[in-house]
Amino acid sequence: MRIGEVKISSPLVLAPMANVTDPAFRLLCRKHGCGLTYTEMINANALVRANKATIRKAQFSKKDKPLVGQLFGAKIELLEKATKILSDYAEIIDINLGCPDKDVMKIGAGSSLLIKPVKIEKIIKAMKKATDKPITAKIRLGLDKNHINAVRNSKIIEGAGADAIAVHARTTAQGYSGIADWEQIRLIRDEISIPLIGNGDVSSYNEAQTKLKDYKVDSVMIGRAAMGNPSVFSGEEINKEKQIKLYEEYLGLAEGFEIVFEQKKRQALWFMNGFEGAVSLRREISKTKKLEEINKILENV
Ligand SMILES: Cc1cc2nc3c(=O)[nH]c(=O)nc-3n(C[C@H](O)[C@H](O)[C@H](O)COP(=O)(O)O)c2cc1C
């Protein structure tokens, strides 16, 4: 698949996830067969003001390519400027039109834009004008089940010049509950010709392959099933030894970035999952206050 001129080597995509998809974790997923990664969502306003924590979220690595830099915001002028800044680092720039977080929605960003088609069009056009890099959008199905408007929004996004669309097949009201409605993705597929990335509830490598075939999407995006589990991109079975090794690999990669202990600990808790004895291991890890303590626990396993 190509998004604009950017070639994507595998149709499996790591979803943007705040506090999860740090640059070391992204690299690890790539090693296991993920073809495209996203930064977690970056506040356009803060990026333009060069807020330090925001820049940290936007840490980039030459090996982590192609990378999508995801922005959220409501002010067109700021989104335009932020697109320019991000273009120096990321191969593709994405606008978040799906975040259900109340604070994000309160400022008119994320999901709240789903009911503003004219603004969506303006945002995409402004971002396209700001850079030569491909522009994409990530949407949800609509605000709630009575206001599904994903087909209309997808057509508007394509019409405004976007190079791909990612669809999380849930409404904003659903948050992360209920079941993702892939039939809506099928309807979108019939209406747009730019690359379509399907997302929602894909829990394994095999399921991703089935979704690619059954829904004729160009890519499948995996979120929660990838947390602590980069092997979801290769289909490899996991076990305790492998998960510990993978986490150690993550720590090695993390040395190349500014990643705080709390984030490394969060990752440890996700990696220690899905095998016998994981619960007690997580309980021990949750009490740690520094990395040496986590290392010691894992050495003793
Ligand atoms: C912890 C967490 C953080 C997330 N952060 C973002 C984000 O920054 N930007 C975004 O577009 N979606 C975000 N999402 C949504 C995911 O990208 C994805 O759309 C959603 O989890 C559905 O996919 P899944 O069923 O494979 O998890 C987040 C989801 C989770 C669980």
Q: Is 256 found in the same domain as 184?
A: no
Q: Is 110 found in the same domain as 252?
A: no
Instruction: Tell me what the mean pLDDT of segment 120-135 comes to.
Output: 98
Q: Is 248 found in the same domain as 222?
A: no
Predicted TM-score of the model (pTM): 0.96
Of 193, 209, 233, which residue constitutes the final position of a domain? 233
**What is the chain's mean pLDDT, rounded?**
96
Of 216, 233, 250, which residue constitutes the final position of a domain? 233
Q: What is residue 50's predicted lDDT score, i.e. its pLDDT?
A: 84
Q: Is 288 found in the same domain as 152?
A: no
Q: What is residue 52's predicted lDDT score, i.e. its pLDDT?
A: 66
Instruction: Dig out the tokens for 32 from the structure.
Output: 């296991």
Instruction: Tell me what the mean pLDDT of segment 223-233 comes to.
Output: 98
Provide the number of structural domains found in the chain. 2
Residue 199 Cβ < 6 Å to ligand 1 = yes
Name the pLDDT band for 301 (thresholds 50, 70, 90). Answer: confident
Out of 62-66, 98-102, 217-221, 261-265, pick the least confident.
Answer: 62-66
Residue 253 Cβ < 6 Å to ligand 1 = no
Residue 198 Cβ < 6 Å to ligand 1 = no
Instruction: Tell me what the mean pLDDT of segment 178-196 comes to.
Output: 97
Q: Is 258 found in the same domain as 151?
A: no
Q: What is residue 16's predicted lDDT score, i.e. its pLDDT?
A: 98
CATH code of the domain containing 142? 3.20.20.70
**Percent of the chain with pLDDT strictly greater than 90:** 94
Residue 16 Cβ < 6 Å to ligand 1 = yes
In the chain, where do the E strands start and end?
A: 2-3, 6-7, 12-14, 37-38, 42-43, 67-72, 92-97, 135-140, 164-168, 196-199, 219-222
From atom 10 of ligand 1, which residue's Cα is the shortest distance away?
16
Q: Is 138 found in the same domain as 121?
A: yes
Ligand 1 centroid to Cα of residue 152, in Å, is 22
CB of 12 closer than 8 Å to CB of 230: no
Q: What is residue 83's predicted lDDT score, i.e. its pLDDT?
A: 95
Name the pLDDT band for 59 (thresholds 50, 70, 90). Answer: confident
- Is the pLDDT reported for residue 57 higher than 70? no
Annotated catalytic residue, options 3, 99, 127, 164:
99
Q: Is 249 found in the same domain as 228?
A: no
Ligand 1 centroid to Cα of residue 156, in Å, is 23
Residue 20 Cβ < 6 Å to ligand 1 = yes
Q: What is residue 233's predicted lDDT score, i.e. its pLDDT?
A: 98
CB of 130 closer than 8 Å to CB of 84: yes
Q: Is 272 found in the same domain as 137?
A: no
Annotation says 34 is catalytic: no
Q: Is 125 found in the same domain as 63?
A: yes
> How far is 268 from 184, CA to CA, in rounded Å?
35
Q: Which domain holds residue 172?
A: 2-233
Q: What is residue 186's predicted lDDT score, i.e. its pLDDT?
A: 98
Q: Is 73 found in the same domain as 191?
A: yes
